[in-house]
Amino acid sequence: MRGEITALLGRVKAGDRSALDELVPLVYHELHKVADHYLRQERPNHTLQPTALINEVYLQLIGKNHPDYEDRVHFFGIAAFHMRQILAAHARKRLTEKRGGGVEAIPLDPTLDFSPEKASTVVALDDALTTLAGIDVEQARMVELRFYSGMTADEIALLTGNSVHRVRHRLRIALAWLHREVGNS
């Protein structure tokens, strides 16, 4: 199946827009695992479900300006990036609404588990990851694959062609940097 995915990504890169339609059913299960992993880190009553998140990502992936996917790792990295962006935008919107957003306040049901602090952390982490990607794309991709896609260091090493030791080392450095950045925001 990996060879088929690579071939379809080559067709996408060559401009065959129908190849993306063929690709999605092949990668749907993996995308669902990534979306499910992302959403498990969100608040329990999140309005997005994994399928809805995948659908949003699909709309991003088939957009006019989709990137030339280099390989399977790049494709899943782009998909994970879009999922993170969608969830961060959702958190930003919730923060805006929490601060008034120009709408009359309605008392919240006290049983709802929304934490503005958690939304702030999601936004701060998204901003920090975006900054990290500007500094070191590989480290940012490894963080996304590890913590948003739920991959192990062994899986990331296999996917990226790095040694497990290198992946673990780069993740430790990236996490220390992210901790400092998010802690300062």
The string of pLDDT tens digits covering residues 137-152 is 999 989 888 877 777 8
Q: What's residue 172's pLDDT?
A: 92
Please count the other Cβ atoms lying within 10 Å of the Cβ belonging to residue 51.
13
Threshold 0.85, pTM exceeds: no
Q: What's residue 29's pLDDT?
A: 83
Q: What's residue 182's pLDDT?
A: 83
Query: What does residue 105 show for φ and ψ, rounded to 5 degrees?
Result: -70, 135
Q: What's residue 173's pLDDT?
A: 92
Q: What is the DSSP string of 158-172?
A: HHHT--HHHHHHHHH
Low-confidence residues in the chain, pLDDT < 50: 100-115
CB 8 within 8 Å of CB 22: yes
Distance CA 184, CA 168 (A): 24
